[in-house]
Amino acid sequence: MPVIHATQVIERPIDEVFATVADAGQIRGLRGGHRFTFTRQGNATRIDHELAMLPTGWLRLLSPIMSMIGRRNLRDTTQALQKYLESR
């Protein structure tokens, strides 16, 4: 099961960052999840991301490229979250 980690620091208060992050639900055929750990760093917030993906059913055929897809998705998600929050 691919597990991908990322860490970012967003220059916004922890309560604002936490309120923005929402559970997007599960994708059929894909088990695992996206775990967030929030840490206050002064007026900023550190987020540690852990993305675990366990394909089931026909998605198992995509297992060899899941890490690449997950890494790219996590990179894009962290960049979009930071851009959104820091532009407010």
Contact 36, 21 (CB under 8 A): yes
Q: Classify residue 4 as exposed, middle or buried by CB count within 10 Å of its CB (0-12, 13-18, 19+).
A: buried
Q: How far apart are CA 47 and CA 9, in angstroms?
A: 6
Rounded-to-integer distance, Cα 9 and Cα 28, Å: 31
- Structural domains in the chain (count): 1
Mean pLDDT of 76-80: 92
Backbone angles phi, psi at 23, to 5 degrees: -75, 120
pLDDT at 6: 94
Instruction: Give the pLDDT confidence of 10-67 residue by residue, as tens digits.
Output: 999 999 898 888 655 566 777 777 888 999 999 999 999 998 888 888 888 888 788 8
Could you list the residue range(s) of the whole structural domain that residue 49 is in?
Answer: 3-86
- Residue 46's pLDDT is 96
